[in-house]
Amino acid sequence: MVEAQVLELRAVLLVGGSGTRLWPMSRAIYPKQFLPILGGHSPLEQTFERLAGLTSAQPIAVANEEHRFIVAEQLRQVGYPDDGTILLEPAGRNTAPAVALAALLATRDESDAVLLVLPSDHAVRDPEAFTRAVSAGLPAAAAGKFVTFGVKPQYPETGYGYIQIDPTPDASDELVFAVQQFTEKPDATRAAQFLQHGNYYWNSGMFLFRASSYLQALEQFRPDILSACRQAMSDLRNDGDFTRINASAFQSCPSDSIDYAIMERIPDAAMVELDAGWSDIGSWEALHQLSEKDADGNVLMGDVLATSCSNVYASGSDRLLALLGLQNLVVVDTPDAVLVAARDQVQNVRDIVTILKAQGRSEAVSPHRVLRPWGYYESVDFGERFQVKRITVHPGGRLSMQLHHHRAEHWIVVRGTAQVTRGEETFLLGENQSAYIPLGSRHRLENPGSIPLEVIEVQSGSYLGEDDIVRFDDAYGR
């Protein structure tokens, strides 16, 4: 048996997921793992902070290419080490391939490590209990077992997978149990039976195992996934803060979860009981349960006035949200969409997103404020042949050198100083000054100052989509 202390513990942060059940606050471009929904820090930031005291080994974050700048900035804010890796997936292929990439990276120099695989969109209210649970599972993981973390169910939840255990704990630790079987998201009747049985736990989706053991299991059960990931990792290149893989090889990889690909097939899985205030924050109902409530069971976030209401979750944005005589509802107001739902129906919010996508509506994927590595923009108004945006550029930020085939733009500086490149000329604009960018003209907007630059952009033309951009030079590698 390999002693736990021989192998380093290495964290793998899974930063994928679209968080559709928390629409309209969570969108595909800016999903829940980046939102400060449970305090000042996002779930991604809190996930990394939970590693304090557990391990000092180089962490690995596996992120979607589309979110790379958000991931890098949020992790930088909470002290992600300079030698930490941000591994970019060119396309989402679920958790089994994502962890395969991390395991291949961890074994590139023929070493090994115990990987602590953590989704970055979960909540853990008691970090010390989390640390104890990880420590309890380390000996079994170091010995080659696949360890998962189970949460004692409080109610018959149908949105989680379940783990059935042998009720006799491991002789070495009372928190460790042998797994008998996994069950994916049962119906309400079976979930109620599991709750009464007593030997069933919610599957938290967090795992602990040796990198080499995971690759061996993939070789046995999903060699197609392992082969595609090996090809993708054979062509690594560094790109600033990021590590890129071979995109075409990874896009050919089958999509599957760790649970289906590995955990439900191996004969000797172990479970550590996790009593740390865990939630996957998978719905507005889960967020209601996690949040502090008033005497009537209401959770009121933002500028909300509630009278004669009970058991309501309400989140306002930039305007007053007034509620009267409501019970057991979720009301979420954002600048471009409002959700009103019965609390017992919030698991179906993703159906709304599916309909919006089918209709080609931007509300399905884009928030009102769209972040970019240079700053952000917000839509102010739009019509058939025009659109008005408010653009904010961070000090030192610069948009790409670009042109548009179908629209012209008019920029008006309302705060700060802009450096404008238009064709062959470059000039400065101060507050209340403006510039016109003709259709087909190469152009760039930069902020040479020390305060944020704010610009009102008026677009006009036959097509105003974000894909009407031809980039010639970009500081951020887009």
Pairing of strands 60-64, 85-89: parallel
Pairing of strands 453-461, 386-393: antiparallel
Phi and psi dihedrals of 257, rounded to 5? -90, 160
Closest CA to 256 of 277, 234, 274, 229: 229
Pull the structure tokens for residue 121: 């969109």
Tell me the pLDDT tens digit for each residue of 406-418.
Answer: 999 999 999 999 9
Pairing of strands 270-273, 147-151: parallel
Instruction: Please say whether the beta carbons of 416 and 375 come within 8 A.
Output: no
CA distance 310 to 164: 36
How would you label 58-91 residue by residue, b for 16+ Cβ within 10 Å and e otherwise?
Answer: bbbbbbbeebbbbbbebbeeeebeeebbbbbbbe
Tell me the pLDDT tens digit for each residue of 45-80.
Answer: 999 999 998 988 999 999 999 899 899 999 999 999
Beta bridge partners of 209: 115
Phi and psi dihedrals of 119, rounded to 5? -60, 145
Tell me the pLDDT tens digit for each residue of 139-149.
Answer: 999 999 999 99
In this prediction, residue 4 has a pLDDT band, given cuts at 50, 70 and 90, of very low
CA distance 117 to 115: 6
Q: Which 3 state secondary structure label does DSSP give 360? A: coil
Q: Which domains does the chain have, with CATH numbers?
A: 4-279 (3.90.550.10), 284-348 (no CATH), 369-473 (2.60.120.10)
In this prediction, residue 367 has a pLDDT band, given cuts at 50, 70 and 90, of confident
Instruction: Please say whether the beta carbons of 2 and 142 come within 8 A.
Output: yes
Pull the structure tokens for residue 257: 């979860």
The half-sphere exposure of 411 on its side-chain side, counting CA atoms within 13 A, is 25
In this prediction, residue 477 has a pLDDT band, given cuts at 50, 70 and 90, of confident
Query: Nearest 5°: CA angle at 70, between 67 and 73?
Result: 145
Average pLDDT, the chain: 92
Q: Is the pLDDT of residue 321 over 90?
A: yes
- C-alpha distances (whole Å) from 44 to each of 35, 168, 180 are 9, 35, 32
Kindly state the average pLDDT of the residues 360-377: 89
Query: Nearest 5°: CA angle at 245, between 243 and 250?
Result: 145
For the ranges 78-82, 172-176, 209-213, 234-238, which has the lowest average pLDDT? 172-176
Pull the structure tokens for residue 363: 């509300």
Closest CA to 279 of 178, 392, 157, 374: 157
Cβ-proximal residues to 108 (8 Å cutoff; 6+ apart), any chain? 233
CA distance 22 to 398: 32
Length of the chain: 478
Q: Which 3 state secondary structure label does DSSP give 133? A: helix
Phi and psi dihedrals of 306, rounded to 5? -120, 125
CA distance 318 to 70: 23
DSSP secondary structure of 167-205: EEEETTEEEEEEEEEEE-S--HHHHHHHHHHSSEEEEEE
